[in-house]
Chain A
Amino acid sequence: MLKIIVTRVGEALVALLLMSLVIFLLSRLTGDPVALLLGDGATEADKAKLTQDLGLDQPLPIQYLTFLGDALTGDFGTSVTAGSQPALQLVLARLPASLSLAAVALVFTVTIGILFGVLAAIRRNSAVDIAARLIALVGQSVPSFWLGIVLMYIFAVQLGWLPTSGYGQWQHYVLPAATLGLFTLAAITRLVRSSMLEALGSEYIKLARIKGLSEAVVIWKHALANSLIPVITFMGTFFAVMITGAVIVETVFSWPGIGRLAYESILSRDFPVVQTVVLVITSLFILANLAVDLLYVLVDPRMRSRG
């Protein structure tokens, strides 16, 4: 077990390093922030000085090594556009908003998704099953920005039940979380439904029923436990989808998170912030995958029974 953890962590670090190189190169390729920063009518001398100040006149490998070295001490550079604010500080200031939204969305989709999936499986071809499958189908067919705008229009403008955008109270979370999570909800519903169907007809369950266990225990303890495995397997992908969707949802609902920060800093060629945001997001992914791997080991009954 320990060996697994150590190797995984090691691989994660290598992945991070590779990612930092990729993102470093890519952000440099997007263009030169110097021209952007200088006001109108700047001279060559102005440009040269600013290039030097930002350290952009050094050869690329030196720039990369400097960046790495600084990063190890927690210095990710200062934002090129937002005054002299440290990039890391900027990113961390906006991280809680994104994380809380992702957490709410994840909880919402996992609970409702599992509920729907189970209901659909045990009441096969009933109204519940059809409704669940319909929602799942629609959830995977709708672009998230469109969903967000439609939900905003219906629930905020027409009905007035929820705020259109912004950040502050729990009501602000509802629409963005729903938009962010619908795709995952659809996926989880389908996954749980098909695994439950598979599990319910399996030998293992037949055995449990013969043993005399109540239906509730059969469904919730045994069948569901098996069905959770594919859900956990895809948890990493779901997290990725959430972060991906975050850029869109944050733009539509003016959510002050890192998705929008990434978008805006790419648009303004703010290298340090772009690098920092991508590294932070990538680390989150890697952490999430690590957690999923560990969860897998814990939940998989086959591995449990061995130990």
Chain B
Amino acid sequence: MTKPVLGTLRRTALGLLCGVAISLAPTATAWAQSDDLIVAVSTFSEETMTPWGGSGQRKTYLDVVYEYLTYVEPGTLKTVPGLAESWEVSEDGQRWTFNLRKGVQFSGGYGELTSADVAYSIERLIRDDSRAGPASPMRRLIGSVETPDDYTVVVNLNFPDFELAQGYFGATQQLGIVSKKHFDTLGEAEAEATPIGTGAYELASITPGSEIVMKLRDDVENHWRVTPDFQNIVFKVVPEESTRVAMLRTGEADIAPIGFDSIPTVRDAGLSIVSAEATWSPVVRFGGLIETSDNRYNPDAPWAIKEVRQALNYAVDKQTIIDELFQGEGTVASSDTPVPAWSTVEPYPYDPDRARELLAEAGFENGFDITIRTFTTAPGAELPLMAEAVALYWQDIGVNASIEPVDWPSLRSEWTEGRANNYVWTHRGFPFASAANGMEAGYLAASVFASFSTAELEAMIQDFSTEVDPASREAKFTEIGQYLRDEAAAVFIALANEPYGISDKVGEWKITTAYVWNFDQVTRAE
């Protein structure tokens, strides 16, 4: 090849390289420095803007815009007034009266919050087209809603619910209050695109599948509930956990949920961890155990026998799983929801010998085959790994477990349609602010999400829900907890935390309980 050609080529290549190097040189990296609070979450779920438009996972970004009738006090977990200043319930638990706070303004110039807005919000949440999680049970529960005056809402229930204020109407559920005027003015289709609420923030922009930017409302001098430090909160959807960790390290994210095994990495990088305590509970649920149902009971399954279920509990070293897989961020569980009344119920200790004994007693000294279906959720990325660990422990006592990864939608369909009868699956439980709600969902045959029920249990629950005296309620509730434990209704593994990585831009932040993220209460570091 002739010299001139070679020379030209070499020079061009060198020039290109220099150009690239210069342009890549670290200058003020516009993507990593920002005054805003950047929250990287794993999913926006349906990415819709109304309380009833999808799952509770969207409350990450919705709850800085919408507010609730009652809130939960951090630490004590007591119910405190929200948009409702006070409330009372009738003796029989079927008539609730809420007195609303006065002078709370909606964004967008839609005026003051009145009882009409609350009534409308309830109506939309339980309407047929609502996609919210609690829509169906609420539909059965709520008889009618009255608005005797602008600041009073009366709710008549079809059966008693003594915990409505902190349950379905509280900040942990999905009754965000919307502006009726907004929907009346723009019509439903158009109004759904923009969230108008009483919270301190409003929607600034949304890039589908990428980010949602919420900005501080400028029409509110002092918000009645929060004093935000950040002008803008940018929510980004980052499905990949390793990317979220990378973003925390480069400063592209200020708050992001991380996996348990990433905790040391994040700490080593000089960042801190905020762990939301006991917000979820990894559990292995048994299929086909609804005794009171005709199509969801499988008496031939080995685990239909109580001793077998107990054995499967004894066989698992739950503390080691917590220490190793959850980096110590959790406590061994005797249930799938942390309720004070159940703190006296002792979980099963690790005792593989006892497990083998029980199996032999039940007639399974040669073990049996079992299929564990797994899937990931948020939180819950560790569930498949946990399943493998559980399978190994079961293998040890002669139970031959095989893992079948599926996805949540398929399993959900099978479960709700009553076809989940001859396998077990990993799942997660949540703390229900209303324990009664939680029990209705998990242990009554009427619920499509029931995983265990006996005639005795149904009677106990029925008894409890109609009990008026608080002390007796507590006692009966504890009884139910003990029953669930003795019957080994599931393999309860742990009450686990949710670790979040925090950048040094953040001063103080705490998740109160599951689904109450408080992103509008993050303080800026000095």
Contact = CB atoms under 8 A, between A and B. Distances in A.
Direct contact of A and B (CB under 8 A): yes
Interface in A42-85: 42-43, 46, 49-50, 53, 81-84
B47 A82 contact: yes
B412 A36 contact: yes
B458 to A, nearest CB: 15
B222 interface: no
Contact of A261 (B30, B53, B209, B246): B209
Nearest to A261: B209
A237 to B, nearest CB: 27
Interface stretch (A3-11, A226-234, A251-259, A276-284): A251-259
Given A41-B447, A82-B47, A94 B209 contact: yes
A42 B413 contact: no
B131 A169 contact: no
Interface residues of A, number: 60
B417 A214 contact: no
Interface string A20-58: 000000000001110111111111001001100100000
Nearest to B48: A83
A46 B243 contact: no
A254 B448 contact: no
A254 B137 contact: no
Contact of A32 (B2, B129, B210, B413): B413
Contact of B210 (A37, A41, A256): A256
Secondary structure class of chain B's binding surface, majority of residues:
loop
Contacts of A216: 2, 4-5
A254 B31 CA distance: 14
Contacts of A41: 134, 136-137, 140, 440-441, 446-449
Interface in A140-191: 149, 152-153, 156-157, 159-169, 171-172, 174
B134 to A, nearest CB: 6
Interface string B124-135: 000011111111
Contacts of A94: 208-209
A267 B411 CA distance: 12
A41 B447 CA distance: 5
A35 B449 CA distance: 11
A35 B210 contact: no
B26 A160 contact: yes
Given A41-B449, A49-B128, A254 B238 contact: yes
Interface in B393-415: 407-410, 412-413
Contacts of B413: 31-32, 35-36
Given A35-B413, A165-B243, A216-B2, A256 B209 contact: yes
Contacts of B130: 39
Interface stretch (B86-94, B247-255, B290-298, B327-335): B247-255
Contacts of B9: 119
Given A254-B240, A269-B409, A215 B5 contact: yes
B76 interface: no
A82 B48 contact: yes
A135 interface: no
Contact of B447 (A40, A82, A172, A252): A40
Given A161-B26, A166-B31, A39 B133 contact: yes
Given A83-B48, A165-B247, A38 B236 contact: no
B37 to A, nearest CB: 16
B239 interface: yes
A31 B407 CA distance: 11
A162 to B, nearest CB: 7
B208 A90 contact: yes
Contacts of B185: none
Contact of A38 (B136, B240, B446): B136
A118 to B, nearest CB: 9
A35 B2 contact: no
A31 B411 CA distance: 10
A267 B409 contact: yes
B441 A37 contact: no
A256 B207 contact: yes
B209 A163 contact: no
Contacts of B82: none
Counting chain B CB atoms within 10 Å of each CB, the highest count among A84, A251, A261 belongs to A84
Interface in A201-224: 214-216, 219
Interface of B: 1-2, 4-5, 9, 24-26, 29-32, 46-48, 50, 53-54, 128-137, 140, 189, 192, 207-211, 236-240, 242-243, 246-247, 249-250, 252, 407-410, 412-413, 416-417, 440-441, 446-449
Interface of A: 31-33, 35-43, 46, 49-50, 53, 81-84, 90, 93-94, 119, 122-123, 149, 152-153, 156-157, 159-169, 171-172, 174, 214-216, 219, 251-254, 256-257, 260-261, 267-269
19 contacts: A36-B412, A39-B132, A39-B134, A41-B137, A43-B136, A82-B48, A84-B189, A90-B208, A94-B209, A123-B1, A149-B242, A157-B249, A163-B250, A166-B236, A169-B31, A215-B5, A219-B5, A261-B209, A269-B409
